[in-house]
Chain A
Amino acid sequence: MAKRIDVSDLDIYYSKFLAVEGVTFSVEPRTVTAFIGPSGCGKSTVLRTLNRMHEVIPGAYVNGKVLLDGENIYDADVDPVNVRRTIGMVFQRPNPFPTMSIYENVIAGLKLERTKGVKRDKASMDAVVEKSLRGANLWEEVKDRLNRPGSGLSGGQQQRLCIARAIAVEPQVLLMDEPCSALDPISTLAIEDLIEDLKERYTIVIVTHNMQQAARVSSTTAFFNLAGIGQPGRMVEMGPTAKIFSTPTEKATEDYVSGRFG
């Protein structure tokens, strides 16, 4: 069920402001790709164009193509709502719905209009909840309090709940926007272990500020940077993670991964 992503010549705008210019790359199915780079260079912006969340911001739009298994998600007849159903997303700060229980949070995506045609009884819902929470390594911790509010969990548990919510709808791709930046080291470790498990089933793209994390979880790494002060962000280099962190082609990448700037 994992799909590949091919991005070509993508320019990303906020109204008239060109934020990211000329991005071209591919992501293989069932791999983890990490986006690294200094703040404000457009990593998250690029990530958010992959499931058309970018255009949620008023005035934001893109030029270029994003192919999901060969189909352009920016074609005029594609409904962004369907794109987001296929490509799940986990955000920087855990955002379980505060008014919903743990159980309701997990099945939130299944209750949406397009999935209602599929008849689901209580037993199959229960099965989805258990499978998703097990998939997110959270089942053992919450199985006895599924009806308690999701906001009562710790930060790391909340983030795993959000991952369970994202995988409950069985997406093709999972996007993660700095999923550990608000978490403590132990919770971070739990999420990283989870990413290791998830890549067997999903194509994963993760934005991270933490280079050790990129080195630990990803097989491919892309380095983003601004073309210059006041200029748009761009993808400097992309390659196997081991190569990016040892012998990158570009000087700027080497400076960044060795800690000389950024």
Chain B
Amino acid sequence: MSNTATENEHDPLIPHGHKQTGRVGDRVFRGFASGAGIFVLVIMGAIGAFLVWKSIPSLQADSTNFFTTTEWFPDDNPAVFGIAALLFGTVISAAIAMVLALPVGIGIALFIAFYAPRPVASTLAFITDLLAAVPSIIFGLWGLAVLMPNMQGTAQWLNDYLGWIPIFSNSLGIYSKSLFIAGVVLAIMVLPTVSAVTREVFIQVPSAHIEGALALGATRWEMVRMAVFPFARPGMISAAMLGLGRALGETIAVALILSAAFTINWHITEPGGNSFAANIALKWNEAGPIGLSALIASGLVLFLITLAVNMLARWIVSRRKDFSGAN
């Protein structure tokens, strides 16, 4: 690597060990490939720059702390707004979604990949893939009309029996339009993503490792823990991150379900709460100039959060590279 790297120092875009040939096809393809790569970076940079540029006026106008304020009156004079409640609602609803969707999604993927008879497996895989194609407005309406009335009992049960855990206690006796319901709807929305991606990585686990574990006398579940999970771990993390990305950014389903309130309420089964995306959708049409800028500023925070989530995922995946199975 080191000696070829020096040859290419003049042009970092040429992969190590590949000198540019004079052939037209190679040059065209190289130009196209590096152009596509640069284009992605430019788009990302442009989005970031747009968000920063457009949010500056509101951040200058904000008379309170942008990060700790739980109110949203950007068009008042002086402007009073902050993202604390949005951040809380977004993170909590996404966290509820992941807590519910990860075990179930991985369970579905395991069942399809290792337990189900072949015809059942392919049918189930097809159905979970279909679920991924359902538009989010449908999930939102379904969550509002069907899930919410039917989830009251569950939320009440959580209060009655697990109420000693602060987040499950509900002193209002009203269980609808809560972060909990929003989290459950989000969980169902990210479930197909999680299960489809983990299924793909489970199927790629080399049969040599699976047979090696079984030949040692492992049960099926022991085989899964010994050979499948370690190999599939980076893929499972990517699946979780993809799901988390969708849960964090989901707009319409959350906007329909939550009764938008700028509060930080740890009692997740009580009504109220808000999220970045839902707030932008609900407030955009009625916002004044500073209001629009404030919404863009909140979008910038969401953008940074998803970037951070993805970078964290990359870091986790690369931490034990030696043991990744790629060598």
Report Cα–Cα, A96/B216, bound state, in Å: 12
Docked complex: A45-98 residues within 8 A CB-CB of B: 51, 53, 56, 58, 81-82, 84-86, 88-89, 91, 93, 95-98
> Is A114 at the interface (CB under 8 A from chain B)?
yes
Query: Is the pair B231, A109 in contact by a Cβ cutoff of 8 Å?
Result: no
Report Cα–Cα, A93/B322, bound state, in Å: 20
Query: Is the pair A95, B118 in contact by a Cβ cutoff of 8 Å?
Result: no
Query: Is the pair A53, B230 in contact by a Cβ cutoff of 8 Å?
Result: no
Query: Is the pair B208, A97 in contact by a Cβ cutoff of 8 Å?
Result: no
Q: Contact check: which of B215, B218, B327 meets A151 at CB < 8 Å?
A: B327
> Is B222 at the interface (CB under 8 A from chain A)?
yes
Query: Is the pair B222, A91 in contact by a Cβ cutoff of 8 Å?
Result: no
Known: A85-B217, A112-B217, A114-B217. A91 touches B211 (CB 8 A): yes
Interface 1/0 per residue, B301-327 and A, CB below 8 Å: 000000000000000000010111111
Which residues of A have CB within 8 Å of B206? 95
* Distance to closest chain A CB from B227 (angstroms): 6
> Is B219 at the interface (CB under 8 A from chain A)?
yes
Which residues of B have CB within 8 Å of A149? 322-323, 327
Interface 1/0 per residue, A106-137 and B, CB below 8 Å: 00110111100000000000000000000000
> Is A165 at the interface (CB under 8 A from chain B)?
yes
Query: Is the pair A99, B218 in contact by a Cβ cutoff of 8 Å?
Result: no
> Is B233 at the interface (CB under 8 A from chain A)?
yes
> Is B61 at the interface (CB under 8 A from chain A)?
no
Residue ID in chain A nearest B320 by CB atoms: A99
Query: Is the pair B217, A95 in contact by a Cβ cutoff of 8 Å?
Result: no
> Is A198 at the interface (CB under 8 A from chain B)?
no
> Is B287 at the interface (CB under 8 A from chain A)?
no
* Distance to closest chain A CB from B163 (angstroms): 37
Query: Is the pair B323, A82 in contact by a Cβ cutoff of 8 Å?
Result: no
Query: Is the pair A152, B322 in contact by a Cβ cutoff of 8 Å?
Result: yes
Report Cα–Cα, A91/B210, bound state, in Å: 12
Which residues of A have CB within 8 Å of B327? 98, 149, 151-152
Q: Contact check: which of B117, B219, B230 meets A99 at CB < 8 Å?
A: B230
Query: Is the pair B214, A84 in contact by a Cβ cutoff of 8 Å?
Result: yes
Interface size range on B against A: 20 to 34
Interface 1/0 per residue, B211-252 and A, CB below 8 Å: 111111111001000110011010000000000000000000
Which residues of B have CB within 8 Å of A114? 217
Query: Is the pair B222, A166 in contact by a Cβ cutoff of 8 Å?
Result: no
* Distance to closest chain A CB from B26 (angstroms): 34
* Distance to closest chain B CB from A104 (angstroms): 10
> Is B27 at the interface (CB under 8 A from chain A)?
no
Residue ID in chain B nearest A51 by CB atoms: B215
Query: Is the pair A151, B214 in contact by a Cβ cutoff of 8 Å?
Result: no
Query: Is the pair B324, A108 in contact by a Cβ cutoff of 8 Å?
Result: no
> Is B30 at the interface (CB under 8 A from chain A)?
no
* Distance to closest chain B CB from A67 (angstroms): 19
Which residues of A have CB within 8 Å of B283? none
Interface 1/0 per residue, B175-217 and A, CB below 8 Å: 0000000000000000000000000000000101101111111
> Is A12 at the interface (CB under 8 A from chain B)?
no
Q: Contact check: which of A56, A148, A166 meets B216 at CB < 8 Å?
A: A166
* Distance to closest chain B CB from A118 (angstroms): 14
* Distance to closest chain B CB from A56 (angstroms): 6
Query: Is the pair A151, B209 in contact by a Cβ cutoff of 8 Å?
Result: no
Query: Is the pair B230, A89 in contact by a Cβ cutoff of 8 Å?
Result: no
* Distance to closest chain B CB from A258 (angstroms): 34
Query: Is the pair A169, B216 in contact by a Cβ cutoff of 8 Å?
Result: yes
Which residues of B have CB within 8 Å of A151? 323, 325, 327
Query: Is the pair B217, A169 in contact by a Cβ cutoff of 8 Å?
Result: yes
Chain A residues near B (Cβ < 8 Å): 51, 53, 56, 58, 81-82, 84-86, 88-89, 91, 93, 95-101, 108-109, 111-114, 148-149, 151-152, 162, 165-166, 169
User: 4 closest pairs, A vs B, by CB?
Assistant: A85-B217, A98-B325, A99-B230, A95-B208
